[in-house]
Amino acid sequence: MHILSEQQIRRNRRRLSLLLILLLIPFILASLMVRFEVWLPTNSVNNGDFLQDKEPFYRWPWQAQNRFPDALKQHWLLVLVNHQECQGECRHWQQQLQQIHKALGKEGDRVRRVFLNSERHDSSLPETLEGMGDRSVRQWHGLTMSNPDWQARPWLGKDYQVLIVDPMGNLVTGYAASHSGRELLKDLRRLLKASSAG
C-alpha cells in the first residue's frame, strides 16, 4: 500500500480546489451577467415587436357580436388593423397578407386572416384569395370595434398595422408599416414550426 506524503496531499488538494473553481466560474459569471444585465445579447431572431402585457385578443369588446367568432378560435390569426379608409399601406398589407397566406402552403390551413375595422370605417372585406382550397381558409374575416375601444388601445393601428395572434388569443408580435411581408412570413413560419397548436 502506497502512503502519500504531506506534500502530495497538499498538491492534490490544490488541484481539486483549482478544478472546482474552474467548474464554478462559468456559473458565477452567468448569474452575474443576468443579475446585472451585462453582456447579454441585444438582438433577437424575430423581426416584429413582441407584444407583452396586452389584453388577449379574444377578450376585446367586439361590436355587433356578443362573442368572438368560433370560426377564428384555435387558429393562428394574421390581423390587418385599419382605423381609416383602406388605402395606401392598408391595401399594400392586404396584398402582402394574401401572398403570405398562400406562401405557407399546407400550413396555411392553421392560419386565418382578419380585417379589423373601426365602426367609423366599417368598409367591405378584402376579396378572397383564389386558389386556396377551403373557402374558410382563403377568405378574410371581418371584426369591428367601437371608436372608444380603439382609443383605449392607442398603440393599435398607430404603432402596429399587422398583428400575429396565437391560437389561445394572445398577441404575439406586431408589425409597423416599415416592416416587410418577408419579415412577417419568416416569423410566422418560425412560430408555426415551433408550435403544434392551431
63-87 pLDDT tens trace: 555 566 777 888 999 988 877 777 7
- Which one is predicted more confidently, 58 or 194? 194
Model confidence pLDDT, tens digit, residues 88-125: 788 888 888 889 999 999 998 899 998 887 765 555 45
Per DSSP, the residues of 141-186 read: EEEEE-HHHHHT-TTBTTTBSEEEE-TTS-EEEEE-TTS-HHHHHH
Specify which residues 112 forms β-bridges with.
77
Instruction: Tell me: pLDDT of 136 over 70.
Output: no
Is-contact 76 191, C-beta < 8 A? yes
Model confidence pLDDT, tens digit, residues 46-65: 778 888 777 888 777 765 55
Taking residue 197's Cβ as centre, other Cβ atoms within 10 Å add up to 13
pTM: 0.68
